[in-house]
Chain A
């Protein structure tokens, strides 16, 4: 799957919301936070910067009014990122 931005993230979000999620798997990317001290960056950041960029793009597209700490909105955006870009890509 490509890391090229999807042209219609709103359609992906609508499709996610239509799905019978109690009977289907819900792909997600979960951030890893260390509350014991500074979080250790990963040795291999892989596609992380591209996924971060996609999260920002899709947030602007589907939840433009969301506050930074709106976790429900964040979860919705992440379901879009994960639905489109879950599998790693070679490009």
Chain B
């Protein structure tokens, strides 16, 4: 999907508002609350069921335009800051998490982040833990949508062997579903590559059981 197809999607009303967040440190809590309050007043947050309904019927069934606040990577501050604000406001947020960041022992998380394009904020560099725990993932999953952002924050081009597929696509989905008890419906690559650019990875994403691919400019229903 390029410019022309993207514009056709807009013309046909096939689009959704999202706001992509990453770090949400405590110092940004007031600003984040202000932003999300404005969004909550103007928009209705979208669940997986809402998205499924739209793809089935073309109707959202919402009283306001649909919207998804998205919190990327699996930062601890997404649990301590972002999720509670969304809960206060009644917003359903989506959390694409890097599952091996969560698996990583706390004293190795800074090095893992440095090695896997995971940006950290100065005010948290002295913290004893930077990533979510699996218990926190489970807690977030009770009110929000949790999906894998691959195992290691992997770009599509780094997934070339069966072992890569297992580590970056299969195991992250299995683990999130096990912990949250919810379907992990979507895959999201580093750099937001869409479905349809490489047969090998596309087949792997389908075989892993994902139904959606989220990219920089679109959400694709793939199964």
Contact = CB atoms under 8 A, between A and B. Distances in A.
Interface residues of B, number: 54
Contact of A34 (B16, B17, B221): B221
Nearest to B31: A24
Contacts of A36: 221-223
A85 B220 CA distance: 23
A35 B223 CA distance: 8
A7 interface: no
B204 interface: no
Tell which of A31, A52, A55 has the most Cβ of chain B within 10 Å: A31
A69 to B, nearest CB: 4
B179 to A, nearest CB: 26
B15 interface: yes
B19 interface: yes
Contacts of B1: 31, 33
Q: Secondary structure of the B side of the interface?
A: mixed
B87 interface: no
Contact of A32 (B9, B32, B121, B222): B9
Contacts of A74: 2-3, 6, 217
Interface in A47-91: 48-49, 51-52, 55-56, 59, 66-71, 73-75, 77-78, 82, 86-88
B154 to A, nearest CB: 18
B16 A68 contact: no
B105 interface: no
B43 to A, nearest CB: 8
Contact of A35 (B7, B121, B195): B195
Nearest to B22: A22
Interface in B147-191: none
Given A55-B10, A71-B194, A28 B222 contact: no
A13 to B, nearest CB: 15
Given A31-B217, A41-B58, A55-B3, A25 B35 contact: yes
A29 B11 CA distance: 12
Interface string B5-25: 111111111111111111101
A77 to B, nearest CB: 8
A91 to B, nearest CB: 15
B217 A78 contact: yes
Interface of B: 1-23, 25, 28, 32, 35, 38, 42, 54-60, 65, 69, 119, 121, 192, 194-196, 214-223
22 contacts: A22-B121, A23-B121, A24-B21, A31-B9, A31-B10, A31-B15, A32-B218, A33-B1, A35-B221, A36-B223, A40-B56, A40-B58, A41-B14, A42-B54, A42-B58, A43-B58, A45-B11, A56-B7, A71-B215, A74-B6, A75-B216, A77-B3
